[in-house]
């Protein structure tokens, strides 16, 4: 009986120690925590240069930065709040909010103990020029990306669940000449482990309509139609012809399938 009581006391002591350590971590001043992280990663230049934060206030639990630089792109205001309850589901979750001019994003970001990445209640409007600069895309993309995602789950770099919409507003590309598309919107849903993406246009120069399905084995299938509503955009018409010949209705039908890893070939 005495041994059992000793084991219970030992477990309680260990639990108290872990709770105390956790309390110290979440109440650690944000500036001090950031300095520690930078110190631990001082030999990794990629870590030190990819994220720079200034004007830190608050704690690891809840704090703000007056400015942050992500891969050289400045964000003027960033704040975060730690959410404890998702820990019961095996997730480490924080709420984030940033604003920079007419760009903003707010929502929840979580990481599962098994490596899963979860985004929820995410609303954002992001300038494509900044996104292209961070992602180092070779194209000069213009316009804004609007996100309204109720849920997005990623595991092993694969999307396993998605609910919401992604919009490309005032879409345009400068490569090698400027082509304007108008507004494009993709509605995402998940049914029986299959991601469904419904593509529509907003009535601009580019007519676009299609359905993309992505299965759990990373295989995709896309069917859709494209055409130009603006005869003055010869570059747009010329590039659309790369997708195939137009039918009697003036629309080019596209049918593609394969691995999601080759998805970029869809519009080549």
Residues 141 and 101 in one domain: no
Q: Residue 28 — pLDDT band, cuts 50, 70, 90?
A: low
Question: Per-residue pLDDT tens for 170-208?
Answer: 999 887 788 999 999 999 999 988 999 999 999 999 999
Residues 162 and 236 in one domain: yes
Q: Which domain-ending residue is among 43, 74, 107?
A: 107
* Residues with Cβ within 8 Å of residue 238, at least 6 apart in sequence: none
Query: How many structural domains compose the chain?
Result: 2
Question: Per-residue pLDDT tens for 82-126?
Answer: 888 887 788 888 899 988 878 899 999 998 888 889 999 999 999
- HSE of 121 in the Cβ direction (CA atoms, 13 Å)? 9
pLDDT above 60: residue 12 = no
Residues 259 and 131 in one domain: yes
pLDDT above 50: residue 20 = no
Return the closest-CA partner of residue 239 out of 201, 267, 264.
Answer: 267
Residues 141 and 244 in one domain: yes
Return the closest-CA partner of residue 228 out of 207, 249, 257.
Answer: 207
Q: Return the higher-pLDDT residue of 234 and 147.
A: 147
pLDDT of residue 184: 97
Residues 122 and 98 in one domain: no
Residues 125 and 224 in one domain: yes
Residues 42 and 3 in one domain: yes
Q: Which domain-ending residue is among 107, 124, 140?
A: 107
Residues 87 and 124 in one domain: no
Q: What is the DSSP string of 83-143?
A: ESGGGGGTEEEEEEEEEETTEEEEEEEEEETTS-EEEEEEEEEEEHHHHHHHHT-SSEEEE
**What domain range is 77 assigned to?**
1-107
* Token reading at 254: 């596209």
- Phi, psi at 252, each rounded to 5°: -95, 120
Q: Return the higher-pLDDT residue of 160 and 13.
A: 160
Residues 97 and 124 in one domain: no
């Amino acid at each position: 009986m005495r041994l059992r009581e000793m084991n219970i006391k030992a477990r309680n002591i260990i639990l108290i120690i872990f709770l105390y350590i956790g309390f110290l971590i979440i109440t650690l001043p944000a500036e001090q925590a950031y300095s520690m992280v930078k110190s631990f990663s001082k030999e990794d230049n990629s870590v030190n240069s990819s994220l720079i934060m200034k004007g830190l206030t608050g704690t690891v639990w809840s704090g703000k930065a007056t400015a942050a630089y992500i891969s050289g792109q400045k964000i003027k205001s960033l704040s975060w709040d730690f959410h404890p309850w998702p820990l019961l589901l095996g997730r480490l979750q924080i709420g984030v909010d940033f604003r920079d001019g007419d760009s903003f994003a707010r929502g929840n970001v979580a990481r599962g103990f098994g490596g899963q990445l979860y985004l929820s209640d995410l609303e954002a409007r992001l300038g494509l020029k900044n996104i292209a600069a961070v992602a180092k895309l070779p194209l000069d993309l213009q316009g804004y990306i609007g996100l309204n995602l109720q849920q997005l789950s990623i595991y092993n770099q694969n999307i396993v669940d998605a609910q919401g919409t992604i919009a490309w507003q005032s879409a345009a590309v400068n490569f090698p000449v400027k082509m304007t598309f108008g507004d494009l919107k993709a509605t995402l849903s998940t049914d029986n482990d299959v991601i469904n993406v419904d593509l529509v246009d907003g009535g601009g120069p580019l007519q676009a309509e299609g359905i993309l399905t992505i299965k759990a084995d990373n295989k995709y299938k896309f069917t859709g139609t494209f055409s130009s509503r603006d005869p003055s955009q010869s570059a747009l018409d010329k590039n659309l012809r790369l997708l195939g010949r137009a039918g009697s209705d003036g629309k080019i039908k596209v049918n593609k399938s394969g691995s999601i890893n080759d998805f970029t070939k869809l519009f080549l």
